[in-house]
Structure formats: structure tokens, C-alpha cells
Chain A
Amino acid sequence: MAATRTIAHALSVASCALLSLSADSIAGVDILPAEVSVSAMIYVEENRVIVNEDVVQIKKELDEENLLTGKLIFDVMSGPSPSGAPVSSKMQTMTSPSGNQKIIPPGEEPTYSFRDTRNAILVDWESQTSRLTKWIHSASLSAEFDYYSTGISSTYSRDINNRLTTITSGLGLTYDYITPVGGTPEGLTLTRADSNIGEKTKYDIEWMIGVTQIINRHSLLQLNYTTGSANGYLSDPYKIIAVTDDVTGDPYDYYADKRPDSRTSNILFANYLLDMKGDALNLSYRYFSDSWKVSSHTYDVKYKLQLKNKKEFQIHFRYYDQTAASFYHYAFVDGAASDVAKENDIISSDAKGAQRIDGLVDYASADRRLANINTYTVGVQYSWQASFKYAKINLRLDHFRQTDKDKRLTELRGWVAQLAARFQF
């Protein structure tokens, strides 16, 4: 818990330091106008999680070469989150991470209710080291009740080809400290065994190289390649996987989620911007693949109409499609009652009726985020300018639907509403 207090204290000190940047003077430096942005977002899932996230961002030029950007983020998250157990035709009794028992009615997706807050600070220092070169150094701290994250990164960019081409490379490191409510269950043990393997950690390293090319006066293209490696505790302590009867399909027991303790990923990202007589077309594509056998395609289209009096209206469409992780299972099926072996018969019982899982499977998760899913998003955004402090105000509304391509999980429907404003002081 000493680490918890240290991180919380560091976050508090850093927050005060960031807020003080909006003051009128910094010793020994000529003060240029500061740009202050604020944002309030509410994210609502149908019958599930609600998140309220507020952001304050301050950008301050320290001199002609150095720009400091700080963000403070405040989240409140609450509501029922899917546990990973399937819907049953019978009543299910489940125990929440905090130890409370919950009755799940027949036909209802098992969830556990949670409430958490997240406070985070992100600081970027952008330094123009020459006419053609730039560094951005970043640091982040994030604290939740049960999750702490720290990160640093540096990105270097250099203009070449008469400044029509920019080469960029960056390295990022993240260290996370995880203290689940009710303890960390040992992976692939029965949840009723109430195991606890204590606090856990996770490390991430990411490296990125990219090129941005100005194609002509009206368009540009960015291409990035990123490779990353995560190591440590990558399971979800709150997710479970059920054992179901192979005749009725109903769950009757539950195991703790267990994922490999390493994950490497490769990402290709392309972003194309086209000026269309003042309107802007923004197309992006991302290909992601990792050592868990997840691969995904993300397509994103934004068309921003330039209206009269500096007003803007944007239409947004996003489509995401992923394959399931190799160890994803909707549920375990107990094949003991059947003579016919099935693909998912990965639980068996010995002569005394005790379930046997050792050696049959190394990893397993029923987390829907690792399933065979796709997501559609549509959204609109309206922006306008106000006379007060050169304010630019954004209002956007997005709606998404996430579907299980194997048609076993309930559809997830969510809405995002965000109001953001930017001021010059």
C-alpha cells in the first residue's frame, strides 16, 4: 500500500503544478497566451455501465521552441459489467468481487455491479530542437481504486524532402499495479475456492515508426507501424468462465479467468486527409494482430462540412471487426455426461465426480472483449465559435452497437455524448 500512497501523492502534486500553469507568470519566462480546453463526456451502455469523464487541458508555450501540455482527467464509472458467465434457463447465484452474493434470474446475462473513480494526469513537453526536428516527451499517472498506471514516452520527428515528408519514431513504457477488490483469484481455479494470489503488476513497451507525406496542397497521408509487448498479469480478475452441462447447456460452476502472461502485438495505421473545397474528409484504417491470435480491422470515416460563420458539422462512421483470442471460450462444456467428444469438452470428471481441468487447457477467458465481435458506430458533431476568449465549442453524439458474430452474446449498445470547449487566455 506504500506504493499506492506514493502514486496518489505524486498525482496530487503534479495536479497542483499543472493547474498553476494557468497563472499569469512563470519565473524568468515571457508569457504567451495559454490555450485551455475543457471536456465533459457521458458514456452510457444500455442496462450496463455509465461513465462520466471530465478533462481539463492546458497548453502553454514556454518560449518559441517549447510547448507544455497538461491534461487532468476525472472519471466516475458505475453499473453492471458482464462477468463472463452465460445466460441460463435457471437461476444463478454469483458472488461479486467484494463478497456479496447476487441472484441472477433465468434468461438474464450475469453481471457484477461496480463503482470506481479514475484520476489521471498526462503531461507532454514538445521541444522544437531545430527548424526540422522535434521531440515530444510525455509522462502519465493514473489512479483507480484497484488499478494504478504510470507511463513515459518519447517521440522524435524530422522533416525531410523540403518539409513535405516527416519521419517519426517513438518509444513508450508503461508500468501498471493491480490490486483487485476481493483479491486476485488464481487463474483457472474454481471461484468458490476463494483463492488470492495478491497484488500484481504489468509492464508494456511500445515502439512506433511512421511517415507523414504531404501529397499536394489538398491532401496528406500518415502511415505508422507500431509493435508492442505486454508482460505480467494480463488476466482480468473480475471475469469468470462457466462450466455448462452438455445436455441442458446451463452453467453450474465457475472458474477464474486466465490469460497468457505475455502478449506481443503489431499494428499498421493509415490516416488520409483530403481538403474538399473547405470541407475535410478524414479516412483511417488500422490493422491489429497479436500473439493471442486476435486480429482486427478498423475503418473510420469522418466528413466535416464547413458551414457559414465558422460553424462545422461532422458525420462519423466507424466499423471494427475482430477475431477471437485463441483461448476465448463462451463457456466450458462438461463432457462427462456425453459419450461423444465435442470440440469444447474441455472439462471432464473423475470417478468421484470431481472436475478435472489440469493439463486440459492452459488459458481460458469468456471475456466478450476477446470474442469474435464487430462494432458499428455512427455519430454527428457540431462545432461553433463564441466571442468569449475565442472559444470554440464542440458537441458530439455517437452511438455504437457491438455484436457477437457467433450469435451467442447479447448485443451491446452504447451512446457517447461529449461537450468540449477550447479557450485562449
Chain B
Amino acid sequence: MLARENMQLNADELVLLMDEQIYYSKEASHGGRGVGGGGCGCN
């Protein structure tokens, strides 16, 4: 069961990537899932 795609911690990784960037630019908190990733001067 745990090998199924919908049971992976990083399922829909491009959705997670976009969400992290959106909320990074709108809120004061970010991170938690891991280290790394690109920075931005988000407005």
C-alpha cells in the first residue's frame, strides 16, 4: 500500500513546489519539508 504513488511524501511534487513559492511570497514563514530550493525576491 505504501508503495503506491498517492502514498508518497512528495506526491505531486510540482504542485508542492509552486505552493511553497506562493506562500513564501505571501507569509512570513517558510520551509519545514527539507533544505535547499531556489530563493527569490518575491513581491
Interface residues of A (CB under 8 A from B): 37, 39, 41, 43, 49, 53, 55, 57, 71, 73, 77, 81, 114, 116, 118, 120, 122, 138, 140-142, 144, 146-147, 149, 151-153, 155, 168, 170-172, 174, 176, 178, 204, 206-208, 210, 212, 214, 217-218, 220, 222, 224, 226, 228, 238, 265, 267-269, 271, 273, 275, 279-280, 282, 286, 288, 290, 292, 294, 296, 298, 304, 306, 312, 320, 322, 325, 369-370, 373, 375, 381, 394, 396, 398, 402, 412, 414, 416, 418, 420
Cβ 8 A contact of B22, one of A290, A292, A396, A416: A416
Cβ 8 A contact of A294, one of B11, B28, B32: B28
- Complex CA distance for A381 and B14, rounded to whole angstroms: 13
Cβ 8 A contact of B28, one of A41, A57, A369: A369
Cβ 8 A contact of A170, one of B11, B34, B41: B34
- Complex CA distance for A114 and B41, rounded to whole angstroms: 13
Which residues from chain B contact A268 at a C-beta distance below 8 Å? 32
> Known: A140-B37, A151-B38. Is A369-B27 also a contact (CB below 8 A)?
yes
Q: In terms of DSSP, what is the predominant structure of the interface of chain A?
A: strand
Q: A144-B41, A394-B12, A420-B12 are in contact. List 12 more A-B contacts (CB 8 A).
A: A49-B43, A71-B17, A116-B43, A120-B38, A140-B36, A171-B35, A178-B41, A218-B1, A267-B32, A273-B7, A288-B31, A375-B23
A402 touches B26 (CB 8 A): yes
Binary A-proximity of B1-38 (CB < 8 A = 1, otherwise 0): 11010110101101101110111011111111111111
Cβ 8 A contact of A217, one of B1, B15, B17, B39: B1
- Complex CA distance for A146 and B40, rounded to whole angstroms: 10
A325 touches B28 (CB 8 A): yes
- Complex CA distance for A178 and B4, rounded to whole angstroms: 43
Which residues from chain A contact B40 at a C-beta distance below 8 Å? 118, 120, 142, 144, 147, 149
Which residues from chain B contact A228 at a C-beta distance below 8 Å? 31
B31 touches A420 (CB 8 A): no
B29 touches A286 (CB 8 A): yes
B29 to chain A, nearest CB (A): 4
Which residues from chain A contact B1 at a C-beta distance below 8 Å? 217-218, 275
Which residues from chain A contact B30 at a C-beta distance below 8 Å? 288
- Complex CA distance for A176 and B11, rounded to whole angstroms: 29
Q: How many residues of B contact A (CB 8 A)?
A: 34
A-B contact pairs, 5 of them (CB 8 A): A140-B38, A144-B41, A224-B34, A304-B6, A369-B25
Top 4 nearest A-B pairs (CB, nearest first) are A147-B41, A153-B36, A172-B35, A269-B32
Q: In terms of DSSP, what is the predominant structure of the interface of chain B?
A: loop
B7 touches A153 (CB 8 A): no
Which residues from chain A contact B4 at a C-beta distance below 8 Å? 275, 280
> Known: A217-B2, A369-B28. Is A172-B39 also a contact (CB below 8 A)?
no
Which residues from chain A contact B27 at a C-beta distance below 8 Å? 296, 320, 322, 369, 373, 375, 402
A324 to chain B, nearest CB (A): 9
- Complex CA distance for A147 and B32, rounded to whole angstroms: 24
Which residues from chain B contact A207 at a C-beta distance below 8 Å? 35
- Complex CA distance for A398 and B22, rounded to whole angstroms: 11
Which residues from chain B contact A296 at a C-beta distance below 8 Å? 27-29
- Complex CA distance for A55 and B43, rounded to whole angstroms: 19
B39 touches A55 (CB 8 A): no
